[in-house]
Structure 1
Amino acid sequence: MITWERKALNFINQTSRWDKDKHISSFLAFSISLVKNLTEADIALQLEFEDENTAKVKNASPVYLDDIVMNPEPIKNILYTQGFQTICWREMPPPSENVFKELLQAFSSAIIIPVDTTPNNSIIILGWSKPQTFESDFLECIETVRLRLKEILLQSQQLLYFQRVAVRFAAILHSIPHALVFINNDGFSGWVNQEAATLLNLSGPGEQLPAVLSDAMTQLRNKAINTEEIYTEAMHLFSSPENAISNWIWKLETPISKTVKVSCIPVTTQQVSGRLWIFEQ
């Protein structure tokens, strides 16, 4: 017999594996579906308070409930009354007191799980057609699930935010007319914008291995007609305490003659350490 404690551990284990192997955008939907299966609920969904006037159903199972819009005010009132603790309805309250009657018609028991207490609150709702007893070991399982769901929701929000920021800044950097090359000191990661990919004859912009970038820049430098000057400046660059240089002239002769002004700037933060190369044509 599978105990509720084991089901809680199963939930943690499966969501931890998903965290490493799958795309974050479907993480929360998978987690809610998993809770539904583990608890043998007939309905499971997320209700997110998008603003003062809108609470929207998301990640619902069954899916036809998705995008139902509700008034958040009475829902918030019951959450505040219960101190944002999990609400267990072994029997459904009368319709006049059931703020979820639009979602829980013809259900006998339900659980409302607050998983986020920030201004944009989210709750998870589980419903059963048959009456449930909600014994103490089941409630302990639900509390474990609630804490893990709170982590999942926060992690999903943070990673989706960072993905949006990354897309936004990538779009900005790709539109800059200069060729930008960043090489991380970790030896494993580098990045180029579209102008740099074109200048270095790379397959495309975005992530590139530092070895690939170093080789491409070496090939570009070998096309210069002032190679000795470039090597002299390179010695100064890599031996100087600042590890920086600007207005470094590379005179290229192939495929057409052109002059490129090169700058190299060290980039050091708590998360990143490397060099940014800027090629101005």
Structure 2
Amino acid sequence: MSTWERKALNFINQTSRWDKDKHISSFLAFSISLVKNLTAADIALQLEFEDEETAKVKCASPVHLNDLVLNPEPIKKLLYTQGFKTIYWREIPPPKENVLQEILQAFSSAIIIPLNTMPNNSLLVLGWSSPQQFEGDFLECIETIRLRLKEVLLQSQQQLYFQRTAIRFAAILHTIPYALVFINNDGFSGWVNQEGATLLGLSGPGEQLPAILSEAMMQLRNNALNIDEIYKEAVQLFSSPENSISNWIWKLEHKTLKVSCLPVTTQQISGRLWIFEQP
């Protein structure tokens, strides 16, 4: 195994541990520092296209380059011309052709690696003071690093998207003026909103074990004044092909609840949604 193959594996191993143990928001800064050390580059940074007029330097080493602003238009033209592939400059182009002149004017060789970090696109830029040859093993190492970065960044984008979606829908469900309880058929996951947690006497809303939710609902049901009627309806519910019920009346000592139970089935989940309303 060549030195550059070992360095590529080193990058994969270290980013894999980071992906499991650290927060994804700092992954790119860690990766840039790691690439700089593995390649013995003299400069490493991220250049992010913030808008049509601004490309800003981030995660730079040396740090004094952070927040430097460049014109993104000529840089984007270069990327389009090269088909958004990694660009290897064994010799830095003359100033008129060097679209990264402001950050690479004192360097001999450089690499420009396009990164897709939507909603903003960005580049990873590496530079060396002495001329570099960029032999075959080195090129394969850089390509492995690029693919690994792309993989983890895509995973992080998906993770952040699902987190934002979950937070948004949880906020919506917590404002609904009904008690909502969802119990997944997997036996491991359940969820309750604030109204539901209050009704069932739970410590708070959010994720709950199905066993805890079922026990709390059973205690609520056992305290009902019309418990016999509830049990008769329950038998029909669990034997019904539709597996649903609505306008089910639970008469408690100080209030009456109108209960609905609806099946929830998608490709990802299967369970029941319980809705408790006070008419």
TM-score w.r.t. the length of structure 2 is 0.91
Q: Is the 8 A contact 2:11 2:145 kept in 1?
A: yes
Deviation at 1:64, TM superposition (A): 4.6
In the alignment, structure 1 segments of 5+ residues that lack a partner are: none
Q: Amino acid of the residue matched to residue 255 of structure 2?
A: K
Amino acid at match of 1:261: K
Are residues 1:263 and 2:260 paired?
A: yes
Aligned to 2:151: 151
Distance 1:272 1:29, change over 3 A: farther
| Change in CA separation of 1:58 and 1:249 when aligned onto 2, cut-off 3 Å | farther
Moved more, 33-42 or 2-11: 33-42
For the residue of structure 2 that corresponds to 1:102, the secondary structure is helix
What amino acid is aligned across from residue 259 of structure 1 in structure 2?
T
Per the alignment, do residues 160 and 268 of structure 1 end up closer, same or farther by CA in structure 2, a change over 3 Å counting? same
- Matched with 1:121 is 121
Query: Structure 2 counterpart of 1:278, which letter?
Result: I
Q: Compute the displacement of 1:243 (Å).
A: 0.9
Kept in 1: contact 2:117–2:153 (CA 8 A): no
Q: Structure 1 residue 128: deviation in Å?
A: 2.6
**CA contact under 8 A between 1:24 and 1:160: conserved in structure 2?**
no
Work out whether 1:275 is the aligned partner of 2:275: no
The CA deviation string for residues 57-93 of structure 1, in whole angstroms up to 9 with x for no partner, is: 3343444544443322101111112222211122322
The residue that corresponds to 2:247 in the other structure is: 247
> Does the CA-based 8 Å contact 1:28-1:156 persist in structure 2?
no
Per-residue Cα deviation, 1:173-226 (whole angstroms, up to 9, x for no partner): 111111111111111111111111111111211111111111111121122111
Report SS of the residue matched to 2:101: coil
1:152-175 per-residue CA deviation (whole Å, 9 max, x = no partner) reads 222222221221111111111111
Over 3 Å counting, the alpha-carbon distance change for 1:24 and 1:182 in structure 2 is farther
Determine the C-alpha separation between the residues in 2 that align with 1:43 and 1:124. Answer: 11
| 2:189 counterpart of 1:189 | yes
CA apart distance, 1:48: 2.7
8 Å CA contact retained: 1:24, 1:159: no
1:173 corresponds to which residue?
Answer: 173
In structure 1, C-alpha distance between the alignment counterparts of 2:252 and 2:105, rounded to whole Å: 74
What letter matches 2:22 in structure 1? K
Q: Distance in 2 between matches of 1:261 and 1:113?
A: 60
Q: Distance in 2 between matches of 1:266 and 1:63?
A: 55
Q: CA deviation at 1:268?
A: 0.7
* Secondary structure of the structure 2 residue equivalent to 1:265: strand
Residues 264, 273 of structure 2: 8 Å contact kept:
yes
Q: Do the aligned partners of 2:2 and 2:137 also contact (CA within 8 Å) in 1?
A: no
Report 1:199-278 matches (<5 A).
Answer: 199-253=199-253, 257-278=254-275
Is this contact kept in 2: 1:25–1:160, CA < 8 A? no
2:35 corresponds to 1:38? no
Going from structure 1 to structure 2, the CA distance change for 1:219 and 1:162 (only over 3 Å counts) comes to same
Measure the CA separation in 2 of the matches of 1:119 and 1:166: 19
Unaligned runs of 5+ in 2: none
Amino acid in structure 2 at the alignment position of 1:228:
D
Question: After alignment, is 103-112 or 209-218 more displaced?
Answer: 103-112
Query: What is aligned with 2:83?
Result: 83
2:68 and 2:213 mapped to 1: Cα distance? 50
Q: Distance in 2 between matches of 1:95 and 1:36?
A: 24
The alignment partner of 1:140 has SS state of helix
Task: Name 2:140's counterpart in structure 1.
Answer: 140
User: Per the alignment, do residues 119 and 176 of structure 1 end up closer, same or farther by CA in structure 2, a change over 3 Å counting?
Assistant: closer
Give the superposition deviation at 1:117.
9.4
What secondary structure is seen at the aligned counterpart in 1 of 2:225? coil
Task: Give aligned pairs, total.
Answer: 278
TM-score norm. by structure 1 comes to 0.90
CA RMSD of aligned residues (A): 2.2
